Homo-oligomer: A and B are copies of this chain.
Amino acid sequence: MHAPRELPDIAADVLARIRARRPRVHCITNAVAQNFSANVLLAAGAVPSMTIAADEIAEFVARADALLVNLGTLDPERRAAIELAVNAAGERVPWVLDPVLIDRSPPRCALAVALAARHPRAIRLNAAEFRGLAGAAPSAETLARYAAQGASVIGLTGDRDIVTDGGRSVTIRNGDPLMAKVTAMGCAASAIVAACHAVEPDAFSATAAGLILIGIAGEVAAARAHGPGTFAVEILDALHALDAATIARHARLEP
């Protein structure tokens, strides 16, 4: 079991592995998020691919190192792509679910529930989305129970982030309010989490590492930014330049 004080080292090590191995992360993500998510992955050292075409997605996913399934701007083509992609991922390709805005749309919520039952390595979501998925307000208990039942790590993001696999859990107090002022920041966080799963087999460590990395990059960026425009640019530079010393200095973790 990883005590929180080991996690900054783990996050730095996971980032080093991403840069060394350059894992390809296949993203089924919404149109608003595609460009920014791809740039976030590249800045961290990973390689994005994004096709959702039915005749090629299985091939793209089968050879990928991780898969992100994001339900934003859901359409018939993406629904079909998700089914093909999750099948192609099978047991070999770790995948992460981002159930965007399922609290706003019953059909989207039903799909998210069905996907969560297929054991994604991690589910990254906010409080309203957790309520939609689990039928309960998020608390240490409900999060841990849901994670244990589904055998997926839960990464709940908000003012503070909570990661739990049912047994272990950590609260991450990194990040900056400007992150909520840039569209697709949560989607990009999920993409980084997926990149971490590509190089780290322990799902709890991978999920926590991803949220620590994006949160600290956000803090570094906020110190240089003058608003949400410069912030969205600076977070890419910050991710690209992030090092172990910066991670150790900024990480604010609690059990």
Q: Does A131 contact B (CB under 8 A)?
A: no
Complex contacts, A75 vs chain B, CB 8 Å: 52-53, 77
State which of A6-14, A83-91, A150-158, A224-232 sits at the interface with chain B.
Answer: A224-232
Complex contacts, A241 vs chain B, CB 8 Å: 226-227
Which residues A12-65 have CB closer than 8 A to chain B?
A: 30-36, 38-39, 42-43, 48-56, 59-60, 63
Q: How far apart are the CA atoms of A108 and B49 in the complex, in Å?
A: 14
A50 with B32: CB separation less than 8 A = yes
A60 and chain B: residue at smallest CB distance? B104
Task: Name the distance in Å between A106's Cβ and chain B's nearest Cβ.
Answer: 7
Given contacts A104-B59, A241-B227, contact A35 B233 (CB under 8 A): no
Complex contacts, A36 vs chain B, CB 8 Å: 35
B105 with A59: CB separation less than 8 A = yes
A32 with B32: CB separation less than 8 A = no
Q: Does A240 contact B (CB under 8 A)?
A: yes
Of the candidates B104, B183, B226, the one whose C-beta lies within 8 Å of that of A39 is B183
Given contacts A74-B51, A77-B75, A181-B43, contact A237 B232 (CB under 8 A): no
Q: How far apart are the CA atoms of A181 and B236 in the complex, in Å?
A: 10
Of the candidates B43, B73, B225, B238, the one whose C-beta lies within 8 Å of that of A53 is B73
B35 with A183: CB separation less than 8 A = yes
Pick from A34, A77, A238, A241 the residue with the most CB of B within 10 Å: A34
B73 with A52: CB separation less than 8 A = yes
Task: Name the distance in Å between A69's Cβ and chain B's nearest Cβ.
Answer: 16
Q: Does A107 contact B (CB under 8 A)?
A: yes
Complex contacts, A248 vs chain B, CB 8 Å: none
Q: Which residues of A contact B (CB under 8 A)?
A: 30-36, 38-39, 42-43, 48-56, 59-60, 63, 72-77, 101, 104-108, 180-184, 225-230, 232-238, 240-241
A-B contact pairs, 14 of them (CB 8 A): A33-B35, A42-B182, A51-B105, A52-B73, A56-B105, A56-B107, A59-B105, A181-B240, A227-B236, A227-B237, A229-B234, A229-B237, A229-B240, A233-B233
A-B contact sample (20 more), CB < 8 A, given A42-B183, A56-B107: A32-B38, A32-B48, A35-B35, A35-B36, A42-B181, A49-B101, A49-B104, A50-B72, A52-B73, A53-B73, A53-B74, A56-B74, A56-B105, A59-B104, A181-B240, A225-B237, A227-B236, A229-B232, A229-B236, A230-B236
